[in-house]
Amino acid sequence: MSSRRGNFNEPRNVAINLSRRLAVESLATLGKSFGLDKCNSVSNVLCRIKREIRNDRGLRRRVQKIEKQLNKSQEKT
């Protein structure tokens, strides 16, 4: 999903966070994949989503559920 400056785009931000953690992609690669021009933009997204996950129990549970499903699918392959 695309985002406008200043708007929190939870699906995109969670995807960036999980991509960084599970695939260990570089900031530049993540930026290209998600349509962000600068590594600094990706870094800012990662900082914001980590803070949101830490502070929002519902978001933390959703992210954990997605991560568990991703890990389970990786075990099957």
Number of structural domains in the chain:
1
In a domain, 3, yes or no: no
- Each of the 77 residues of the chain gets a pLDDT tens digit; together they read 445 556 678 999 999 999 998 888 899 999 999 999 899 999 999 999 999 999 999 999 999 999 999 988 877 76
In a domain, 4, yes or no: no
Query: What range does the domain containing 31 cover?
Result: 10-76
Cβ atoms within 10 Å, residue 59: 16
One-letter identity of residue 15 = A
Cα maximum dimension of the chain: 39
48, 8 contact by CB (below 8 A): yes
